[in-house]
């Protein structure tokens, strides 16, 4: 049972890091898109920033869930 939760913890870590790095890449993409042609792509850039913030939020929630599992099952 502990092995299962350690695997789950590892998967949650990977998901959190993946979402955070995707968020960073999307913010960089948003900056590039907005400054390339400001008025025509402003809405698209804002959409990318909103998606990046959602990814950061999800990464933080996965990290919180992993820490709660650590506390609950004393994995460390």
User: Radius of gyration (Cα) for the chain, nearest Å?
Assistant: 17
Domain definitions of the chain by residue range? 2-71
pLDDT score at 56:
92
User: Residue-wise pLDDT tens for the chain (76 aa)?
Assistant: 778 888 888 888 888 888 888 888 888 888 877 777 776 667 788 888 889 999 999 999 999 988 888 888 887 6
Q: What is the 3-state secondary structure (H, E, C) of 12-71?
A: HHHHHHHHHHHHHHHHHHHHHHHHHCHHHHHHHHHHHHHHHHHHHHHHHHHHHHHHHHHH
pTM of the model: 0.55
Whether 59 contacts 21, CB under 8 Å: no
pLDDT at 1: 73
């Amino acid at each position: 049972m502990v092995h299962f939760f350690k695997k789950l913890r590892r998967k949650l870590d990977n998901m959190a890091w993946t979402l955070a790095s995707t968020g960073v890449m999307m913010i960089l993409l948003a900056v590039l898109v907005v400054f390339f042609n400001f008025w025509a792509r402003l809405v698209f850039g804002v959409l990318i920033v909103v998606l990046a913030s959602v990814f950061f939020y999800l990464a933080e929630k996965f990290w919180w869930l992993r820490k709660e599992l650590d506390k609950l099952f004393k994995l460390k």
